[in-house]
Amino acid sequence: MSTPSFQIATIKGDGIGVDVTEATLAVINAAQKKINGFNLVYNFIAAGAGYYKETGLDIQSGGEEAAGKADAIFLGAIGLPSIRYVDGTEISPHLRLRDRFQLYAGVRPIKAYPNSPQRLADPRASEIDMIILRESTEGLFYSAAVHNRCPVQTDEEVQDIVRITRKTTEKLHNFAFRLADKRKSRGGMGQVTCVDKANVFRSMAFFRQIFDERKSSFPNIKSTYNYVDAQALDFIRRPWEFDVLVMENMFGDILSDLAGGLVGGMGMASCGEIGDNHGLFQPAHGSAPDIMGQDKANPLAAILSGALMLDYLADKSGVQALEDAAREIEHSIYQGFKENSIRPMEFGGDMGTKAVTQEIIQRIQQK
C-alpha cells in the first residue's frame, strides 16, 4: 500500500512566525521519519503585514483558495505594530480564513509542565490540564471578520454585533462534549463547563439554552456552568478543577490568555481552529518582531500546535501513525521539561529557538 500523503498550506507570516514555523516543521519531520506511515507536503503561501506593505495584499492572489484545497493549514504568526489597514485595524487575513472556512471550534490547550513557570503557589497548580474551546466565527468577533459588518459607524458612535446562531452553537457544544469524551478515554475528567453571561445578555442565555439541549446526548460527560467573571476568578482559585470549557469568541480570547499565563505564558499557547471540513493551526502568541531572527523565540506553542494538527489529520483520515507522531512530540516536550533539558529563554532559561527545537528532535530520534 502507498503511504498516505497530506497537503499542508503553510503560512509563515510575520516576525517570529517565520522562526517558529521552521522549528515546527523540523520537529514534525523528525517525528514523521521516526513513526513512518504518512507523508506531509508543505505548500507555502505568502501572507501577513509584511506582505501587505510590499504588495497592498494581505495574502497572495489565490492564497485563500489554495488554503481551502489543503488537508490542513499551519500559520506562524501575522501582524506588525506599524502596519495597519486604512481603517486602523490590524492586518488579519487569518480572520477571513476563519470566516470563509467556518472554523468555529477554537481549541486552546492549557497544561502545566514540570519545571516551567507556575504562577500559583498552590501545589495543585501542577495538575492544570484543560482546554478552552472558543467559538471562533461569531460572538463579538463577528463584526471583525469582515469589516462591513458594523451596523453603525459614524464620527459620534460605533456599534459592533454579537452574533450567536443555533447552527454554529449546536456544532460547538457537540464538539465540546466529544472532545471531553476523547480526553476521558485518555484519563481526563470527562467534564464540560459552559462559560457565559446568561444572567445579563439574551445572546448568552441562548448560548446556554443550546448547551442544555445538547448535553442530554452525552450522558457520560459531566456538565457544569460558570459566568465569565466568576470563571476568571476561578482560574486563580481552582484552575485544576476544569477540563473542557466552552464559550463565546471574545470570552475565549480573554480567558485563554489568562489561563495561558498560569502555565508559563504565550510561548506555550497552542491553538487549533477547526470546522466541519477544514482546520487551521497556529500558536496563539503574536509576531514579536523585536526578537525575529535572534534565536530568542520560544517555539513550543507552535510545535504543540503542529501536534494538534497531526491529531486533527488522524481523526479525519483514520491514519494511526499521525496520532502516534503527535503523542511522540508531546511526550518529548513533557519529558524534556521534567528532566530540565528544555529551558526556554522566555522562562529565564539559556536555550533559544534552535536549541529547544534540537533538544526535542534529539529526544524523538533517540527513542
Separation of first and last alpha carbons in the chain: 26
Which domains, and CATH codes, for the chain? 1-98+277-367 (3.40.718.10), 118-262 (3.40.718.10)
Distance CA 349, CA 263 (A): 15
Q: What is the pLDDT of residue 154?
A: 82
For the segment 203-244, what is each residue's pLDDT rounded down to a tens digit?
A: 999 999 999 999 999 999 999 999 999 999 999 999 999 999
Extract the C-alpha cell encoding 96. Answer: 477571513
pTM, two decimal places: 0.93
- Report the pLDDT averaged over residues 81-105: 91
Higher pLDDT pick, 317 / 158: 317
For the segment 339-366, what is each residue's pLDDT rounded down to a tens digit?
A: 999 999 999 999 999 999 999 999 999 9
Burial of 270 (0-12, 13-18, 19+ CB in 10 A): buried
